[in-house]
Amino acid sequence: IGLDTSREIVKSGPKNLVLLDRIDNPAAIAELSALNPKVTVTFYPYDVTVPLAETKKLLKTIFDKLKTVDLLINGAGILDDHQIERTIAVNFTGTVNTTTAIMDFWDKRNGGPGGVIANICSVTGFNSIYQVPVYSASKAAALSFTNSLARLASVTGVTAYSINPGITKTVLVHKFNSWLNVEPRVAELLLEHPTQTTVQCAQNFVKAIEANQNGAIWKLDLGRLNPIEWT
Amino acid sequence: IGLDTSREIVKSGPKNLVLLDRIDNPAAIAELSALNPKVTVTFYPYDVTVPLAETKKLLKTIFDKLKTVDLLINGAGILDDHQIERTIAVNFTGTVNTTTAIMDFWDKRNGGPGGVIANICSVTGFNSIYQVPVYSASKAAALSFTNSLARLASVTGVTAYSINPGITKTVLVHKFNSWLNVEPRVAELLLEHPTQTTVQCAQNFVKAIEANQNGAIWKLDLGRLNPIEWT
Q: Model confidence over B16-31: pLDDT tens digits?
A: 999 999 999 999 999 9
* Strand partners of residue B115: B158
pLDDT bin (cut points 50, 70, 90) of residue A187 is very high
Q: What is the structure's pLDDT at A172?
A: 80
pLDDT tens digits for B76-111?
999 999 999 999 999 999 999 999 999 999 999 999
Q: Nearest residue of B to residue A134 by CA position? A: B145
Residue B84 to residue A103, Cβ atoms within 8 A: no
**Structural domain boundaries in chain A:** 1-228
Binned at pLDDT 50, 70 and 90, residue B171 comes out as confident
Is B136 in contact with A156 (Cβ distance < 8 A)? no
> How many Cβ pairs within 8 Å bridge chains A and B?
119
Instruction: Name the 3-class secondary structure at B144.
Output: helix
Selection from A74, A69, A60 nearest residue A40 by Cα: A69
Nearest to A180 among B92, B103, B144 (CB): B103
**pLDDT digit string (tens) for B107-141?**
999 999 999 999 999 999 999 999 999 999 999 99
Are A144 and B156 a contacting pair at CB < 8 A? no
Residues in chain A within 8 Å Cβ distance of B179 = 100, 152
CA distance B172 to B108: 37
- Pick among B144, B146, B178, B214 to test the A interface (most A CBs inside 10 A): B144
Answer whether A144 sits within 8 Å of B136, measured CB to CB. yes
- Chain B interface with A: residues with Cβ < 8 Å: 52, 84-85, 88, 92-93, 96-97, 100, 103, 107, 125, 128, 130-131, 133-134, 136-145, 147-149, 151-152, 155-156, 179-180, 182-183, 231
Percent above pLDDT 90 for chain A: 96
Tell me whether strands A71-74 and A40-45 are parallel, antiparallel or unpaired. unpaired
| DSSP one-letter string for A85-104 | HHHHIIIIIHHHHHHHHHHH
Mean pLDDT of B55-75: 98
Cβ–Cβ below 8 Å for B140 and A140: yes
pLDDT in tens, A129-142: 999 999 999 999 99
pLDDT at A230: 75
Q: Is the pLDDT of residue B230 over 80?
A: no
Q: Which tens digits make up the pLDDT trace of A92-138?
A: 999 999 999 999 999 999 999 999 999 999 999 999 999 999 999 99
- Which residues of A are the active-site residues? 135
CA dihedral B104, B108, B111, B115 (to 10 degrees): 70
Interface of A with B (CB under 8 A): 52, 84-85, 88, 92-93, 96-97, 100, 103, 107, 125, 128, 130-131, 133-134, 136-145, 147-149, 151-152, 155-156, 179-180, 182-183, 231
ipTM of the complex, rounded to two decimals: 0.97
Radius of gyration, alpha carbons of chain A: 17
DSSP B98: H
pLDDT at A213 over 80: yes
| Per-residue pLDDT, A118 | 98
Residue B172: band (very low, low, confident or very high) from pLDDT cuts 50, 70, 90: confident
The yes-or-no verdict on residue A231 having pLDDT over 80 is no
| Subunit contact A133:B143, Cβ cutoff 8 A | no
Give the whole-number percent of chain B exceeding pLDDT 70.
100
B contacts of A139 (beta carbons < 8 Å):
144
Cα angle value B138/A146/B220 (rounded, 5°): 40
How high is the mean pLDDT of chain B?
A: 96
Contact A32, A105 (CB under 8 A): no
Q: What fold, for B1-228?
A: Rossmann fold (3.40.50)
